[in-house]
Amino acid sequence: MRAKYRALKIFHRSPSDRWQAAHPLLDSLGSAAPWVFYDETWAHVVNRWEFRRALADGKPVTVTDPPRPLPAEVRISPKGLIAVDGAAAPDKWFYLYLDPQSCSWSNYSWKLRLRRLSDFKELQLAFRYQDFYNRYRYRFQDGKLCFDMVVNGQFRADLSVISCPLEIGRSYDVEIRAVGSRFECWVDGRLMSRDYDPENRFPAGPIAVILWEDDGVTPIRAELALQTVTELIATPPRERSSSSANAS
């Protein structure tokens, strides 16, 4: 899958400047937004290997497990600052997503500022989120930025990988753009990764933030200032032509 993806990627590049920001899709990404929180006690986390095997065998996974209240380790401000200060544990999770029923978004730009305060294993920024078993994601891990797809519980990881170390204590401006089957991740104004899904498996869905560490030694400490999720609309051809003429 990875080799095929990389071979086809060359032919599926289209500049995102053909799209322009329209309006915010949610008034605020703060504590009043429809956030759903889970931790390592979630049934889908505890039984993840068993459930993924079942999905791979074509068996349904139906589990009712209500969301968890926010613990003292996680704070969400009214303006959208998510502050996480979690003690080390053998399998520690902080799993936040916006309700897909309320936020069925398609083409959008997600802007945030993030700061890692400890060197925990994995920071995921998921988009077009469906559920635990289906999502796109950009993953910061081991000094790299990776694009992955989670499809029916099966991980199609490292479809693209680029060096992108995040210094502890330093803030970074991140933007994720999703337009049709094409996706981009920008860090501090620089395009770091341009990716695509030729099958456009998840045409709509909200955002999610997932933090994970399993070494039992490293705490999870981070701040994510969620700024905006803005609808993207296609720039009219006449406007593009006019812009091109002015540029030349």
Looking at residue 236, the DSSP 8-state letter turns out to be P
**Which two tokens mark 170?**
């330093």
Q: What is the pTM of this model?
A: 0.89
User: How much of the chain is helix, strand and coil, in % rounded to 5?
Assistant: 15, 45, 40
Residue 244 CA: distances (Å) to CA of 20, 79, 179, 239: 15, 38, 21, 9
**Tens of pLDDT, residues 172-213:** 999 999 999 999 999 999 999 999 999 999 999 999 999 999
**Tens of pLDDT, residues 66-94:** 999 999 999 999 999 999 999 999 999 99
| C-alpha–C-alpha distance, residues 191 and 203, integer Å | 22
Architecture of the domain made up of 2-243: Sandwich (2.60)
